[in-house]
Structure 1
């Protein structure tokens, strides 16, 4: 038995020596470099590859099947003149015996100096197309291979053992990948690629590290990135995990205007292809000053991918963040705005939509909750449904500026106003003639025609155009070039404002309509908020229905038509003492000088009301009425909104106590009963009642009428019934003309 064992041992040893000798002979006596042409032909005919091995081929046979390629280029056989890749060196080795068990056990894989160039020509054909197919099969349909595969899979038999990988490490050095598209002119690149891994074994964590520089030409951008993590995969379950991911880098380029973006991200990545889902959990990310957390999950990866998750962005200075990205903000009335921003939301997205649900957004001292998103990227379909506690919109708008026409008009008003203040002793102001509105285009017509929006906004306290609105609500819709303000409501200075309207930009000339209702709003507060001089006070009630067209302030005013009704309760005509002016007129008729100072520089009234009919920027007001203690005022006239001027004729009737005038010289007697005292109001609209003077021409007619009545009385006293009634009427008529 010992002899048999010894013989078997010697036999095995002999076989091993023969195998080693055979391997030595093959690797030293057989040179694969002698067969480069055959290898090139084989690659072309079997794989559709144009292979050019300019360097030496190094190889070993046993126990490692080793291979080294130097200075090699690859191209598609259909475009051999356009190299797809070239590499400086590729080295790998595989254990021979495990291959028989469908196990790939490899030592270190080294790839050095890879240069991969992907291009599309003007016809959209890529230089990689056709690789993997022999030239004679590239023009055939895919049905034959599919049928063959199906037949192979359908054959009964023992299931093949899955391929198992066992690689000591993978090292890629100085690699470069570029992509060029001749149709779009787009150029992308990844350079300086350095990849190192630990042992690659299925089901076990594989440490890896990747460095690369990325670039593009549209726009010009450069980015440096570094990725570290631990990769785990299971080919049978189609499950791939990247654990403890850490991505960091920096970017610069044209969009950043010379600034640099430093970014980082970390978390756990999972792709389960069998379940058709991918997840990024424990997400943490930074971008300059911005810091955030989140959880993301993608579903239906193969069909219609959807993304959902949560996102939290910690409080940060949005203004400084945008500046660090080279993004300049437009001028704002308050330069300290956007100094604080914070976001918490649920995220839902598809390939054509994005929404932020259960959103809480804090911006400066405002907090909003609700939903914000785009339901269709192609249509720019914006959807907004938000509730906020407060917002001072004026802080975010451009600083107020006045154009030259407005400044000139202000100067004109100021000069007239200075002369008009008092009791009306100065000449009647002239109507303004200068155009008060800009001809510059206001609306971005092309943008408005493409808008598709639905906006529901509720804010507890909103300041806009210097107007403080409480319990503000807005509902608006846009689509197909028609913008509809369905409802706008809010409290204003303890009153209320309701409005609706539309903007139709479908025609060449935009059409605008507006309906407004204002209830018990102090008009002086409105004037003060707009920086205007307070010329009238009182609680304003207004109903309007107006329409216009055009795309400038001037066009809107020139084409303004519609109706406006107003009532002003318990008000004051500021710096306009109509009682004193009336007293001066009566004193003139009484031929007595005034001996006392005016009791007040203002005129209070119980009610001021009227209706305006707008025609091409001019408002006709035929029924102006004012109820002043002791007086009734009736008037008619026009407001020329094109130049912000007015021209009114007013009649004042004395009521009640006829002796309640402020000066003895203007005491009223029975002769003045029923007389309508004429007043003319003309000048810049901003002057209000301060532009009113008694009409001297009309006042002369009143004097003549009174003189005629007095003469008639004297004739009647002396002649009695001797004068016929016809003669009396004729004498009175002479003075009424």
Structure 2
């Protein structure tokens, strides 16, 4: 026993001597700076980029086997400038010496100071973090890893978690300390620069299976300081002993942000708990809460296959908030609206599902003021985003959200018009259906609205496109083809059984036309500018109006008045300000923005009207030539000289603007024709039915000429 004790004490003494000798001799004999170039060369070969250790390298042995390194730089690939990709001011780490003898790793606090990471994306899309590692080095590294671990997975055999089979067991890491770090991202394609400064980041003791504290501060700047964000992070983190799982507790991210000249606005993000199982590839975050700019939102997350093919699902709820208050919080001027009470309340809730191929919202309920939108929406995450939606809206008055009307004179519009560009349509893949119980826009009220929009390969189709309005129905379809420039717009639309007066009054404050309307149109246009949409309009349309009136113009009174004045008599009393009609029909052809109507027919009290004319849709003018035949019923209904007009056809002209048309009656010409006709009849010239006076006179002259010629021939023959 005494001998054994002596042996043990002797071995212990020898160990102490060896350790003391190592502490004294190794720093004197080994100069790590002699290996700087070799280390730099190895890193350069492994990464494919220049690596430099510009600072001093120092080594310590007891009680820690420590290493301190001065400034280090890893360069950028060619074409990205001379600024280093990664730069470290200094780094220090150590391992306690005595535990190494029993294959236990106790690592000191890892310290990094002056870390700089410069990320750059070029205008052509290439980035300086791509292709990191030389081809042969990367292949050699993979082969080496596979050789060391057998299947390429798990830690190498000389640094293991449990200390068995010659491996080292990681007992603890005293912590991680990061000071004065900066990450800079420059997107040269978008012309943006984002910088994230991390003044401090520190952790408590890191040990498998034990929780540790994490604290950090950061300042994010966008551009030249037009937007900034400062944040403080706190959390309790715990890794499983085999590092196969991680848990976060009491995660909190608080701070503030500024945009432009706005004041700092506070925000907060909190997670009471996060559980990630890296072996099972699952994630659970039961409750995430966020607050910013007066908006409170909650979120829960469940993840599967989070490493191989991440898939997430959960629910998001945005509590009721005021959009106007959000504008104010962000220092943004709220839009002026006709109704200042709108944008006062909004909320949202939805279930979500997301994976690498698609993100989807379902059971969506979005509320804005008095309107509620429900449905589903998804976006495919392919090269061309695939958008799908099915939405239902209860009711909305869009006029309340339009800019308010003003009595100030409108500013003169700049010369020219707006160019139309539809390149975006070529990369749009859309299939969306929409219904609404009631919609009001520009005064027009529609109910039972239904529409479906399908866009693919540069073509957008709206079909169906229908709604009930003003006791009638609107149905149709529209197509926008942008495969060739300029884009072509075509519309097929029908209106049936709707009341003209409330429709025109609500749409354009126009109250001059009443009746029940039937309307069909097949129109198309191709234009590169807004003005060209009207001037290039082509197509056909038909209309049928019944039991209505032209308000403000009494055509029969104008005829009576003109007739009386032509006779030198006093004008009659106006009995009604309007022109009533039983039926008004016609068809029209539109070419280059001009509507030509050759078959206008109208049935009015005392009058039958036919005619033709043209409407310039760009200029808003019209010019119609009409023939109004006075019906025989005038003889029974009218009194005085007006009865004399029975059977007469009166030439009318309708001209002026669509907003203020005028009617003129050529009574003098009609009386002149009647006088000429009566005189000719007394001379024995009586036109046959359907024959004009000119033809009748020509025929009578030819008869007289033939008669005179025959008489002359007879006289010559008899002499």
TM-score when normalising by structure 1? 0.78
> Does 1 or 2 have the higher relative contact order (CA < 8 Å, sep 6+)?
1
Match status 1:249 vs 2:290: no
Q: Note if contact 1:73-1:83 (Cα within 8 Å) is conserved in structure 2.
A: no
Q: Note if contact 1:583-1:663 (Cα within 8 Å) is conserved in structure 2.
A: no
Q: How does 1:629-644 map to 2 (within 5 A)?
A: 629-644=605-620
1:170 match: 175
What is the CA distance between 1:528 and its match in structure 2? 1.9
Residue 452 to residue 438, structure 1, CA distance change in 2 (3 Å): farther
Match status 1:664 vs 2:640: yes
1:700 match: 671
3-state secondary structure, aligned to 1:470? strand
Cα distance in 2 for partners of 1:567, 1:317 equals 48
Match status 1:649 vs 2:625: yes
What is the CA distance between 1:248 and its match in structure 2? 1.7
Residue 247 to residue 705, structure 1, CA distance change in 2 (3 Å): same
Q: Note if contact 2:75-2:84 (Cα within 8 Å) is conserved in structure 1.
A: no
2:218 match: 212
Match status 1:340 vs 2:345: yes
Cα distance in 1 for partners of 2:486, 2:406 equals 27
Match status 1:148 vs 2:147: yes
Residue 709 to residue 522, structure 1, CA distance change in 2 (3 Å): farther
Residue 452 to residue 173, structure 1, CA distance change in 2 (3 Å): closer
- Say which of 667, 670, 681 aligns to 2:654: 681
Residue 505 to residue 360, structure 1, CA distance change in 2 (3 Å): same
1:35 match: 31
Match status 1:451 vs 2:424: no
Cα distance in 2 for partners of 1:160, 1:242 equals 33
Cα distance in 1 for partners of 2:409, 2:488 equals 27
**Number of equivalenced pairs:** 671
2:270 match: 266
1:196 match: 202
Cα distance in 1 for partners of 2:480, 2:86 equals 57
What is the CA distance between 1:542 and its match in structure 2? 0.7
Cα offsets for 1:429-485 (capped at 9, x unmatched): xxxxxxxx9951253333334333222110100112321100111112222222222
Deviates more, 1:277-286 or 1:359-368: 277-286
Cα distance in 2 for partners of 1:76, 1:342 equals 49
1:545 match: 522
Cα offsets for 1:637-689 (capped at 9, x unmatched): 222323222222222333364345565342x15xx44322332222222235x
Cα distance in 2 for partners of 1:372, 1:59 equals 63
Q: How does 1:38-437 map to 2 (within 5 A)?
A: 38=34, 40=36, 43=39, 51=53, 54=56, 57-60=59-62, 64-67=63-66, 69=68, 72-75=70-73, 84-88=86-90, 90=92, 92-94=94-96, 96-97=98-99, 99=100, 102-106=103-107, 109=109, 111=111, 113-117=113-117, 138=137, 141-142=140-141, 144-145=143-144, 148-149=147-148, 160=165, 164-167=169-172, 169-179=174-184, 189-215=195-221, 217=223, 222-234=228-240, 236=242, 238-252=244-258, 258=262, 260-267=264-271, 268-322=273-327, 324-325=329-330, 333-334=338-339, 336-351=341-356, 353-376=358-381, 378-397=383-402
Residue 376 to residue 171, structure 1, CA distance change in 2 (3 Å): closer
3-state secondary structure, aligned to 2:674? helix
Cα distance in 1 for partners of 2:584, 2:408 equals 33
3-state secondary structure, aligned to 2:601? strand
Residue 581 to residue 660, structure 1, CA distance change in 2 (3 Å): farther
Residue 220 to residue 643, structure 1, CA distance change in 2 (3 Å): closer
What is the CA distance between 1:533 and its match in structure 2? 4.0
Cα distance in 2 for partners of 1:382, 1:610 equals 43
Cα offsets for 1:558-609 (capped at 9, x unmatched): 32222211111111121212222232344457x4724752211212222111
Q: Note if contact 1:33-1:57 (Cα within 8 Å) is conserved in structure 2.
A: no
Cα distance in 2 for partners of 1:311, 1:237 equals 31
Residue 152 to residue 441, structure 1, CA distance change in 2 (3 Å): closer
Residue 164 to residue 357, structure 1, CA distance change in 2 (3 Å): farther
Q: Note if contact 2:622-2:656 (Cα within 8 Å) is conserved in structure 1.
A: yes
1:498 match: 475
Residue 457 to residue 606, structure 1, CA distance change in 2 (3 Å): same
Cα distance in 2 for partners of 1:186, 1:83 equals 18
Q: Can you give the 5+ residue segments of structure 1 that lack an aligned partner in the other structure?
A: 409-436, 716-725
3-state secondary structure, aligned to 2:31? helix
Cα distance in 2 for partners of 1:198, 1:216 equals 31
Cα distance in 2 for partners of 1:178, 1:289 equals 30
Q: Note if contact 1:438-1:554 (Cα within 8 Å) is conserved in structure 2.
A: no
2:587 match: 611
Q: Note if contact 1:594-1:663 (Cα within 8 Å) is conserved in structure 2.
A: no
Cα distance in 1 for partners of 2:408, 2:591 equals 26
